[in-house]
A and B are shown apart, each in its own frame.
Chain A
């Protein structure tokens, strides 16, 4: 799109600054700082925010967002998008529920749901890479398709009969801490995705594809395979989040997690991933998801309706991107000696 070239030059230009400035003056650092401020201020001023139970529920509530945000970050760094994840969560939930209802053991049902995630992700990936369609359009289609399959399979019914062992595990805390068990697979996935993104040729390829598809292609990156892999990863992680969602609420329904895709994308974009691709860090995205979650639970504790969080999420999102553009514009205006402000004579270097 229009500002793709400026985004590229900005990334490159960053390297002429010292390391500490590069680290501290980034979008990600700003989000982390904001997260710390919100956490400290809330803990100091809102009764109950500092209690361990708040952290437990905070993490349980945003676990699906955190999980799906990981592959979404990589997809958006390549400049693509996956809007079908919320529907995939619903479909995976329904597949698990329907198979359990049919008498299969839960473990088999969960495996089948993960397989559905792989197939769904591969379908997205096939349409985007092999047929060559824009991912925004494809995944609006599969958003409707997956949701339709989920609702079609179960109708308005809900399956609530899951083994207690698993439903308890989904809500359980790690012994002696307020941290829920779901954090462990999440941290494992974080490690996997960080290694994948930063320490493998595949991960370098992800950034390269986002910065310039053609340049990536000519430097030996298999653009199509990279994107295809990412869509499959997105599908399978969304399916996993769907299984967790089912167990956490003890209910498999066709309309589970409706609209989750927009919350995930909001967190990813707020966390500093450029929609044009080529730019973004996993820790920024995690911080952004935690920031939204903390704000939500802080507001809930002071009895503000949970919907107000919408305003905050939306406004934060808009301000964060507009502020970045504004700063870039300021910088450019300062660097351009040819157009001095009225009445000021510039001393050209």
Chain B
């Protein structure tokens, strides 16, 4: 990113621009919520409205954060929806097969299982040097297929899972849903890790220029592997959330979420070409994506048009990023010519 530029004022200006990108998407979110609330105050100012606003996006936020980490390294993880489906079913299965199993153990099992599935992706990508898109497209099918074989026409119902666990899905602490708190904590840790640790910065370096990162001596293989494990583990946690939130899990749980996750990250300013963006952006993108879905009917637009709006949003976001990048490049060239 900005490490190569010695001019400090310039570095500041660019990081300010980066902040502005997330600010813009946050502004859009606030606008949507305000507009919906003006039309129907219950959208925000009712216990249910407030809860849904925070609870609905929590699961996608987790998946989008994982996706953002992978995207930053110039890879992509299309298998997250299938990983989520598998871990959600595993969650239900554990409660059924081992009565009385502690909830913590189930959560750990699901996260570890998700991480393992991510490890398979990462190992194939990092060692076989095959594009992530191909590998994760393959595992998208393979994991979903395993899920279908395992689940069959079976279904885990809410009555199969302990009440305490389901209470996690709807419960609140000080008016804030528990799942939203967990998602926020995970997000904060991920954001800190990506911004302040050596490991986090190396993801950006790898995504900006893989060849240069290799020459510089970064352990590209290990970092890419870690990114996929993180994405898998977060999708695993999202699977537990899914089970707790919806209570019903069939073999199609989480189908199609991979595109929502990539879409959320892209809306939030994470570049699909790697090296740019933040997990905050991806998380706000996820919230915006799902909030718009709920806001449209209130704004008088039939919810059939919801996917079209999401599409416009994604295209608008990448066009905006392009404009910002072009302007920034021009500024950098001017600054170089002046000095």
- On A, residues with C-beta under 8 Å from B are 1-3, 81, 127, 131-134, 136-138, 140-149, 151-152, 155-156, 254, 258-259, 262, 265-266, 269, 275-276, 305, 307-318, 321-322, 325-326
Bound form: Cα–Cα A46–B307 in Å: 43
B141 touches A322 (CB 8 A): no
Interface residues of B in 205-224 (CB under 8 A from A): 210-211, 214, 220
Interface string of B214-249 (1 = CB under 8 A from A): 100000100000000000000000000000000000
Total residue contacts A-B, CB cutoff 8 A: 161
Give Cα A318 to B129, complex, Å.
Answer: 12
Tell me, yes or no, whether B315 is within 8 Å of chain A by CB.
Answer: yes
22 A-B interface contacts by CB (under 8 A): A1-B210, A2-B210, A134-B273, A134-B318, A136-B133, A137-B266, A140-B259, A142-B311, A143-B259, A145-B314, A145-B315, A147-B308, A269-B137, A275-B134, A276-B131, A307-B148, A310-B148, A321-B130, A321-B135, A322-B124, A322-B135, A325-B130
Residues in A neighbouring B259, C-beta threshold 8 A: 140, 143-144
Contacts of B308 in A (CB 8 A): 144-145, 147-149, 151-152
Is B149 touching A322 in the complex (CB atoms < 8 A)?
Answer: no
The reply to whether the CB of B58 lies closer than 8 angstroms to some CB of chain A is no
Minimum C-beta distance from B58 to chain A (A)? 21
- Does B272 belong to the interface (CB within 8 Å)? yes
- Please determine whether A145 and B251 come into contact, CB atoms closer than 8 angstroms: no
Query: 8 Å CB contacts to A: which residues of B99-126?
Result: 124
B residues contacting A by CB (< 8 A) are 74, 76, 124, 128-131, 133-135, 137-146, 148-149, 152, 210-211, 214, 220, 251, 256, 259, 262-263, 266, 272-273, 302, 304-312, 314-315, 318-319, 322
Structural contact, B146 and A311, CB atoms closer than 8 A: yes
Chain A nearest CB from B62 CB (Å) reads 20
Nearest residue (CB) in A for B305 is A152
Among A156, A309, A314, A322, contact of B130 (Cβ-Cβ < 8 Å): A322
User: Separation in Å of the B314 CB from the closest CB of chain A?
Assistant: 4
Task: Specify which chain A residues have a CB less than 8 angstroms from the CB of B272 in the assembled complex.
Answer: 134, 136-137
Do A259 and B256 have beta carbons less than 8 Å apart? yes
CB nearest to A304 among chain B residues: B149
Contact indicator A143/B311 (Cβ below 8 Å): yes
Residues of chain B within 8 A (CB-CB) of A258 are 256
The answer for the CA separation of A313 and B141 in the assembled complex, in Å, is 7
Report the bound CA distance from A144 to B304 in whole Å. 12
Bound CA span A326–B128, Å: 7
What separation, in Å, do the CA atoms of A321 and B143 have in the docked complex? Answer: 17
**Are B148 and A308 in contact, CB atoms less than 8 angstroms apart?**
yes
Q: How far is the CA of A10 from the CA of B12 in the complex (A)?
A: 44
Contact of A314 among B76, B140, B315 (CB under 8 A): B140
Q: Across the interface, do B129 and A310 meet the contact criterion of CB distance under 8 Å?
A: no
Given contacts A131-B322, A132-B322, contact A318 B311 (CB under 8 A): no
CB distance from A4 to the nearest CB of B (A): 10
| Residue numbers in A under 8 Å from B305 (CB-CB) | 148, 151-152
List residues of chain A with CB within 8 A of the CB of B302.
152, 155
Assess the B148–A136 pair: CB atoms within 8 A.
no
Assess the A142–B273 pair: CB atoms within 8 A: no
B17 to chain A, nearest CB (A): 19
Smallest beta-carbon distance A235→chain B, Å: 15
By the criterion CB–CB under 8 Å, are B139 and A318 in contact?
Answer: yes
Query: Which partner residue on chain B sits nearest A324 by CB separation?
Result: B130
CA distance A321 to B128 in the complex (A): 8
- Cβ contacts under 8 Å, A259 to chain B: 256
Q: With A133-B322, A141-B311, A314-B138 in contact, is A155–B304 under 8 Å at CB? A: yes
Instruction: State whether B314 touches A144 (Cβ < 8 A).
Output: yes
Contact A312 B145 (CB under 8 A): yes
Q: A149 — which chain B residues lie within 8 A by C-beta?
A: 308
| Chain B residues, Cβ within 8 Å of A318 | 124, 134-135, 138-139, 142
- Which B residues lie within 8 Å of A131 (CB)? 319, 322
Given A148-B308, A262-B140, decide whether A325 and B129 contact each other with a Cβ distance below 8 A: yes
Other 4 A-B pairs with CB < 8 A, given A144-B263, A318-B138: A1-B74, A137-B272, A321-B130, A321-B135
Assess A266 versus B128: contact at CB under 8 Å? Given A1-B74, A310-B145: no
Q: Is the CB of B263 within 8 A of A140?
A: yes
Q: Is the CB of A144 within 8 A of B307?
A: yes
- Residue picked from B129, B138, B251, most chain A C-beta under 10 Å: B138
- 4 smallest beta-carbon distances between A and B, as pairs: A148-B308, A145-B311, A314-B141, A311-B145
A137-B310 in contact (CB<8A): no
> Which of B129, B211, B319 interacts with A127 by CB under 8 Å?
B319
CB distance from B227 to the nearest CB of A (A): 14
Say which residue of A132, A137, A314 sits within 8 Å of B145 (CB atoms).
Answer: A314
Interface centre among A136, A148, A266, A312 (most CB of B within 10 A): A148
Minimum CB distance partner of B307 in chain A: A148
Question: Across the interface, which residues of A come within 8 angstroms of B312, CB to CB?
Answer: 141, 145
What residues on B are CB-neighbors of A307 within 8 Å? 144-145, 148-149, 251
Q: Are B128 and A144 in contact (CB under 8 A)?
A: no
Best-surrounded residue of B302, B305, B315 (most CB of chain A within 10 A): B315
Chain A nearest Cβ from B125, distance in angstroms: 10
A310 & B128 in contact (Cβ 8 Å cutoff): no
